[in-house]
Structure 1
Amino acid sequence: MTSVLVVDDSQFMRTVIGNILADDGYEVYSASDGKKAVEAVEEHAPDIVTMDVKMPGMDGIEAVSEIMSTNPTPILMLSAHTEPGADATLDALSRGAVDFLAKPSGEVSPNIASLSDRLVAKVRAVSQADISSVPRDGTSSDDGVTDRDSDCDPEQTYVEHPTVVIGASTGGPKLVERIVTELPLALDAKILVVQHMPESFTDRLAARLDRKTNYTVREASDGEAVDDGDVVVAKGGYHMEVAVNVGGRIRIELTEGPRRHGVRPAIDVTMESAAARVRDPLCGVALTGMGKDGAAGIEAIHEAGGATIAQDEGTSPVFGIPKQAIETGCVDDVLPAGDIAAGICSAFTQEGQTYG
C-alpha cells in the first residue's frame, strides 16, 4: 500500500486531508510541524509527503530542505492563496518539493469539499515523479542574479526578433528559472512562459524570475506589447494568446476560453497562436509535467517552420508533457535540462538558423 505523511499544524486539516487519502486507498501518517515531519519520514519512510508551508517551529520550507538532504521523498506543498504563501511555496519548490496545491482558506471554508479530487490527482502525479531529477538549490536567497554556466556563446551573432514559447507543469518552475537565467542578453528574445499555476502564484513566479535574471520579467497583461528582451509569464486562470506580430514586436491577449486538457493557461493555446501569427524566428520548448498539454502546440510550431525542443526523460521529474510532444514526431531536439538554453541559442544563430 502506498503511504503518505500528512504534515499540517491544523488538526482539522490533517484530519480532512488524511481522510481523503485514506478513502482513496493510501496508508496515512501525520505530523504537526516540520521537526516532527523530518522524524516521521525517518521512522516510516513514506512514499509521499504533503507539507503545509506555514507552521510554528520548523516550517515547511526548512522541513523540505532537511528531508531532501537526508531522506529524499516526493513532496507536495499545500499552500494558502496569499502572496506570502506563494513566495514560500516557490521557495520550497526550489529546495526540492515536486509540486504544490493551493488549499482552501479557513477551517470552515465551503471549498473544503472541492479539495478531494484535486488533492488525489496531485498526490498521484507527485507519486510518479523522479525526485532525482527535481532541481534544487538548497538556498532561499533571491538576492541578485544567479550565476550559471551556460553553453550559449555571448559573442555569437543571433537572428533578429526571436520568440521563445516555454511550456511546463509539474516540476517546472525551477527549470524555467534555470533556462531563463542561462539565456544570454545578446539573444534579445521575446520569451513567453506558460507554467500551470493558479492566478495567485503566477505573479510571484514572475517576480522571482525578474530577480534571478537580467531579462525583464512580468506577469502577462491583456493587450500588452512584448518587445525583444521581455519575458512574460501567462497569468493563472487565463489563456495567453499571441494576437499580432508586427515589426519585431508581438501583442498578447488574455482570454477566459474553455480549459484545454483541464487547465487554463494552456501551453497549446499559446504555442498554437504563436505558430499562427509569429512571422519572426520561433522556438517552442516542452518541459516536465503531467499530461499532454503542449503536444499540439509543438506540432503547430514545427509545421509553421519553427524550432522545437523537448526535455529528455532523464532530467524530467515527470516525463508526461515532453513524452507526448516527442511522440508527435515534431520535436527537433530532445535535450537534458542543462542543455536546453544552449539548444534555444543554437536555433537562433545566424549561421545555423533555419526556422521562422
Structure 2
Amino acid sequence: MTRAVVVDDSHFMRTVITDILESGGIEVVGEATDGREAVSAVAECDPDVVTMDVEMPNMNGIEAVEEIMATTPTPILMLSAHTENGAEATFEALDKGAVDVLAKPGGEVSTGISAIKDDLVRKVESVERADLSTVGESSPEPQSPDVADETAFAENGTVVVGASTGGPSVVENVLSGLPLAADLRVLVVQHMPDSFTSRFAKRLDGRSDYDVREAEDGDRIGGGEALVAKGDYHMVVSNYSDGRLRVKLDQGPERHGVRPAIDVTMETAAETVSDALTGVVLTGMGTDGAAGIEAIKAAGGATLAQDEETSSVFGIPARAIETGCVDDVLPAGQVPRGILSTVREPT
C-alpha cells in the first residue's frame, strides 16, 4: 500500500485530503502544518509520496521541497492555488525537485474537492512511481544545437510533443534545443491543470528561441512559433494551408481521463498536416499518445519516444513503443537532435 504524508496549514484541507487518499487505498502515515514539520515528518515516517501545499508559515512548500530533496529524497505532489502567484511558485517547486502539480479547489471547497477526488488519487499513484534522478533537470538558458549555415531543413515541418508526469522540465529542454533555423511549427500537449498552462507557455517562451504562447480557439501559427494546449481543452488541428496551422479548442469528453489529450492533437495533426510531421512522446503515466503515434506513423510521419532511463515515469513512452510505431527511442537530452534529424533534408 502506498504511504503518504499530507502537508497543509489548513486543518480542514489536511482532513479532506487524508479522507480522499485513504478512501482511494492510500495510507496516510503523517501530517504536517508547515514546511519545517514536513521535513521532520518525511524523515520520521519515510513515506512513498508527499502532498505539499505551497503557501505556509515558517517554511513554505518550495523551501520544504528543496530541503526534503537534499536530505530524504521523496516523490512530492504540489497542491497549489488557482492563481498566477500559485502557478509561479509551483513551477519553482518543480525546479527544486517536486514531481507534479494538482490545482487545489477554489470557490465552494467541498464541491471542488469532490471534483478532484479521482485526480488526486491518480496523481499520487503516478508521482509515487517517479524516478527522482530525472526530476528537476531543466536548463536555465536555451541551448540550441549548433546548426551549420548550409544545413537544409524540410519546408513547413510540424512537431507535436506530448508529456505528462515529470514532463515540464523535459519539454523546456526540448524546445530550448530547437533552433529557429529549422522553422518548425510546434504543438505541445502537457497534462497540467487549466490554471497552469498559461504560465507554462510563458516559461517556454522565455527559455526557447521560439515564440510560444498558450493556445486560444482559432489560433494560427507559422514557422518559429509554438502553442501549448490550454488546460481542460483538447487542442484540435483544424486546418493547414500554406505552411500555417490552425487549431480549435474543444471541451469534448476526456480521453484516458485527461483533457487536453495528446492523442487528440496528434490524430488531428496526422489527418490535417500535409508536410513533414513528427510526433514525440515524453515521460508520463498512462496510455495517452500511443494512438496518436500510430496515427502519425500511418500518415507517413516520423515518431520519437523518450527512453526509460531518463523518464520520470516510463508509461506514456512505453505504451507508444509497444505499438511498434516508434522510429527511435532517445534519452531526453538527445530528443532535440532527434527531432531535427526527422526534418533535415538529405544531402
Q: Return the TM-score normalized by structure 2.
A: 0.94
Q: Helix, strand or coil for the counterpart of 1:50?
A: strand
1:294 to 289, 296, 305: 289
Q: Helix, strand or coil for the counterpart of 1:200?
A: coil
Compared with structure 1, are the counterparts of its residues 216 and 261 closer, same or farther at alpha carbon in structure 2 (3 Å cutoff)? same
- 2:108 and 2:34 map into 1 onto residues whose CA distance is 18
Q: Kindly indicate whether the alpha-carbon contact (under 8 Å) linking 1:224 and 1:252 is maintained by their aligned counterparts in 2.
A: yes
Q: Which amino acid aligns with 2:162?
A: G
Task: Say whether 1:168 aligns with 2:169.
Answer: no
Task: Say whether 1:40 aligns with 2:52.
Answer: no
Q: Deviations over 1:66-85 (max 9, x none)?
A: 21122211000101111211
Task: Say whether 1:204 aligns with 2:205.
Answer: no
Structure 1, gaps ≥5 residues long: 140-144
2:63 aligns to what?
A: 62
The structural deviation recorded for 1:107 is 7.8
- Higher alpha-carbon deviation: 43-52 or 103-112: 103-112
The structural deviation recorded for 1:158 is 1.5
Structure 2, gaps ≥5 residues long: none
Q: Deviations over 1:205-254 (max 9, x none)?
A: 11111111221110111112111000100111111111121111111111
The structural deviation recorded for 1:87 is 1.6
- 1:18 and 1:41 map into 2 onto residues whose CA distance is 16
2:251 aligns to what?
A: 256
- 2:120 and 2:272 map into 1 onto residues whose CA distance is 38
- 1:344 and 1:108 map into 2 onto residues whose CA distance is 44
2:121 aligns to what?
A: 120
Q: Helix, strand or coil for the counterpart of 1:338?
A: helix
Q: In percent, how many aligned pairs have the same letter?
A: 60
- 2:148 and 2:66 map into 1 onto residues whose CA distance is 34
2:303 aligns to what?
A: 308
Q: Kindly indicate whether the alpha-carbon contact (under 8 Å) linking 1:22 and 1:28 is maintained by their aligned counterparts in 2.
A: no
- 2:174 and 2:148 map into 1 onto residues whose CA distance is 15
- 2:49 and 2:188 map into 1 onto residues whose CA distance is 29
Q: Kindly indicate whether the alpha-carbon contact (under 8 Å) linking 1:64 and 1:92 is maintained by their aligned counterparts in 2.
A: yes
Q: Which amino acid aligns with 1:187?
A: A
- 2:129 and 2:224 map into 1 onto residues whose CA distance is 36
Compared with structure 1, are the counterparts of its residues 280 and 108 closer, same or farther at alpha carbon in structure 2 (3 Å cutoff)? closer
2:22 aligns to what?
A: 22
- 2:42 and 2:107 map into 1 onto residues whose CA distance is 27
The structural deviation recorded for 1:106 is 6.0
Which aligned runs of 4 or more in structure 1 are off by greater than 6 angstroms? none
Q: Helix, strand or coil for the counterpart of 2:174?
A: helix
Q: RMSD of the alignment, in Å?
A: 1.8
Matches within 5 A, 1:144-183: 146-148=141-143, 151=145, 153-155=147-149, 156-183=151-178
Compared with structure 1, are the counterparts of its residues 133 and 55 closer, same or farther at alpha carbon in structure 2 (3 Å cutoff)? same
Task: Say whether 1:49 aligns with 2:44.
Answer: no
The structural deviation recorded for 1:163 is 0.5
Matches within 5 A, 1:1-356: 1-23=1-23, 24-105=25-106, 108-136=109-137, 146-148=141-143, 151=145, 153-155=147-149, 156-351=151-346
Q: Which amino acid aligns with 1:294?
A: G
- Higher alpha-carbon deviation: 322-331 or 27-36: 27-36
Q: Kindly indicate whether the alpha-carbon contact (under 8 Å) linking 1:12 and 1:107 is maintained by their aligned counterparts in 2.
A: no
Q: Deviations over 1:23-54 (max 9, x none)?
A: 42414201111122112222222211110011
Q: Which amino acid aligns with 1:89?
A: T
